[in-house]
Amino acid sequence: MWAFIFITIAATMIFAIYCIIPNYWMRNRSKRVLRHGTAEKPWIALTFDDGPNPLYTPQLLDILKDAGIKATFFVMGKQALKHPYILERMHSEGHTIGCHSFSHRHAWLMSPWHTFKDLELTYQTIESFLGYKPRWYRPPWGMFNLCSAAAARKLDLKIAYWSIEAQDWEATTTAQHIYDTIISRAQPGSIIVLHDNRGAPGAPAKTLEALPPIIKALKKKGYTFVTLDQLKGDTT
């Protein structure tokens, strides 16, 4: 009986130390994580997670190109291996490319070793195709474990979170909901997270439907779309 209680308490403490506490700290407190840009300029950063996707990402790139704006893509290593030509197009058209894990496994399900190797493999995949050292990292679901920040630091990666999400991965989310959520919450320095892969079947199609009117409305309000590098002030 006492052994069971001791094991339960020990397991709970380990879980809290490895998962809950660092996750709360990184998402809400750590100065290492970019959650929002400066409010002094009317800048907004569009970011896209989980791609590239051979159906949706080229359409997304067309939308961005037609609008004359740059975005930041957090790509999955296994998707990049399957579709390197899309990765190359992102880079050639001036978008920033960051790491979003290799296979989108939750941080709380990864050991310290796996955390480091997963990020390193994603980093190496991007660099091998582009000759481009990625500068940004966003963990899947925006969830961290005790080793996430150390893994990013080892590769000299900045960590990005977001300030606006529109649940665009859910089956019940409509293009109108995506539009309304982003337009109502947009502020100078906002970081918007959307998805060009995964989620419910067909979910990225609704994101693509919502995106042109979102861009048009925010431009009308005087916003300029920038990459995370620009938002952080690392480039002009």
Which residue numbers are catalytic? 49, 195
Nearest-angstrom CA–CA distance, 136 and 98: 5
Nearest-angstrom CA–CA distance, 220 and 211: 14
Matching residue, tokens 């995106």: 211
Structural tokens at position 189 = 């320095």
Burial label, 28 (beta-carbon count in 10 A; 0-12, 13-18, 19+): exposed
Nearest-angstrom CA–CA distance, 204 and 137: 21
Q: What is the DSSP letter of 212?
A: H
Distances (CA, A) of 220 to 1, 180, 187, 193, 235: 66, 15, 13, 20, 25
